[in-house]
């Protein structure tokens, strides 16, 4: 059985580096294909805890939502 949790540290929010980090993160879980197949409809729910800017770390960074989408 694959692990149920995967955790890594992303060293940058630069889009290409973030994409690579996300692939590394999802690899132990079977990759994105184990979660969603091409043509699936998926809802992305970012955490919006306050109206603060992303730099305040009270919200999901827009770059992460962009890369996952």
For the stretch 38-68, pLDDT in tens is 999 999 988 877 766 666 667 788 899 999 8
Q: pLDDT value at position 40? A: 95
Helices (H) and strands (E) in the chain, counts: 2, 0
pLDDT at 3 over 80: no
Does some domain include residue 2?
A: no
Residue span of the structural domain in which 30 resides: 15-68
Give the C-alpha separation, 65 to 46, whole Å. 7
Rounded to 5 degrees, φ, ψ at 59 are: -150, 160
Question: What's the Cα-to-Cα distance from 27 to each of 6, 48, 49, rounded to whole Å?
Answer: 9, 27, 28
Does some domain include residue 7?
A: no
pLDDT tens, residue by residue, 6-38: 999 988 889 999 999 999 999 999 999 988 999
Does some domain include residue 38?
A: yes
Does some domain include residue 4?
A: no
Does some domain include residue 5?
A: no
Does some domain include residue 3?
A: no
pTM of the shown model: 0.72
Q: pLDDT value at position 54? A: 65
Number of domains in the chain: 1
Does some domain include residue 46?
A: yes
């Amino acid at each position: 059985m694959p692990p149920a949790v995967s955790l890594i540290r992303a060293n940058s929010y630069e889009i290409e580096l973030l994409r690579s980090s996300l692939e590394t993160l999802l690899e132990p879980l079977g990759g994105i294909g184990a979660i969603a197949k091409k043509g699936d409809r998926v809802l992305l729910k970012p955490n919006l805890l306050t109206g603060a800017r992303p730099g305040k770390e009270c919200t999901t960074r827009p770059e992460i939502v962009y890369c996952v989408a």
